[in-house]
Amino acid sequence: MSMKRLGMAYVARVATAPAGSVRARTYDPANHDREVKAVVAMREAEELLLIEEADAWFEYLEATRSQSESRYHEIEPWAWARLSQRLRAIKARRARLRPAAA
């Protein structure tokens, strides 16, 4: 592969292999597409877990924000327990998502 500079961008020129060459297609496109889809699905699942984690923290903040001192002392243990429960569930799902990494 050679690179040719055109203005500010680089354009790649790929040498084409002759017909019947082993190097023309060194991978199975169907398998490659499955791998790409699996990676995309994994990223989306991780992103959803991050969103859920942020939602758990925002729920805690909403419950405890702008409360009087006495009301805060009533609500905070419940809010913290709820946050901890949600974070444990997210951690467990994240662990199931990547079993090979462990």
pLDDT of residue 5: 53
Instruction: State the chain's mean pLDDT as an integer.
Output: 80
State the total domains in the chain.
1
Asked whether residue 23 is domain-assigned, the answer is: no
Residue 39 has pLDDT above 90, yes or no: no
Residue 5 maps to a domain: no
The residue range of the domain holding 64 is 30-97
Residue 7 included in any domain: no
pLDDT exceeds 50 at position 85? yes
Local structure of 11: helix, strand or coil? strand
For helices 69-97 and 29-64, the axis angle rounded to 10 degrees is 170
Residues in the chain: 102
In the predicted model, is pLDDT for residue 1 greater than 50? no
Q: Which residue has the higher pLDDT, 18 or 57?
A: 57
User: pLDDT tens digits, residue range 43-73?
Assistant: 999 999 999 999 999 999 999 999 999 999 9
